[in-house]
Amino acid sequence: MFTSETDKPSSPAPGQNSAFLEEKAFRARTVLVFGTITDTVAAETARRLLALDADSDAPIDVIVSSPGGHLESGDVIHDMLRFISAPVNMIGSGWVGSAATHLFLGVPRERRVCLPQTRFLIHQPSGGAGGQASDIAIQAKEIINARERIAQVIARECGQPLERVRADIERDLWMPAEEAKEYGLVSRIIERRTELAKA
């Protein structure tokens, strides 16, 4: 029973809970990639991956739930996953779309899993071209180049024919977990963290 004002527990300082959770996530070797993929998210994710890689060569778990975002920001995370030495388990949850699917493919298929309710989206890059005609032509060429690059990554990492992937990404292609497994986006559908040990 509290008898005076000084005996009452103090409220957590601003950011205190956040720091506590950050430390727990670091000790658990877990990185969360949630929300729109931006340059800020890419920088933060890369920083965490590098820190965890420097700390130990034990596996890192990356949990992704994102509608996508900036393609080049997705490129940063995709490439960083390949750059570090520690193995990474990629776990899809909620939805994994567009640029998020691209970074999701940054690890080998046997290490890509998802939770049962996860949905995946693949499609071609989009962009708003504006300005002078010559600038619009340059932007259009870059979008076409990015589309081909994305198609090649999906084909390579999912084991699909390139022509099929090119056709599939012409429009939005949504896949629930089972279809994503059949397509090659994920190797397994899991329900519990203990199942990651099989990766």
Domain locations along the chain: 30-190
pLDDT of residue 124: 83
pLDDT of residue 129: 55
Active site residue 102: no
CB 87 within 8 A of CB 116: no
pLDDT of residue 196: 87
Q: Please name the residue that has the structure tokens 């059949």.
A: 182
In which region does residue 94 sit, left (phi positive, over 0), alpha (psi from -120 to 50) or beta (all else)? left
pLDDT of residue 26: 81
In angstroms, the Cα distances linking 119 to 42, 133, 151, 180 are 22, 38, 19, 8
Q: Which residues of the chain have pLDDT under 70?
A: 1-17, 126-131, 133, 135-136, 198-199
The CATH number of the domain covering residues in 30-190:
3.90.226.10
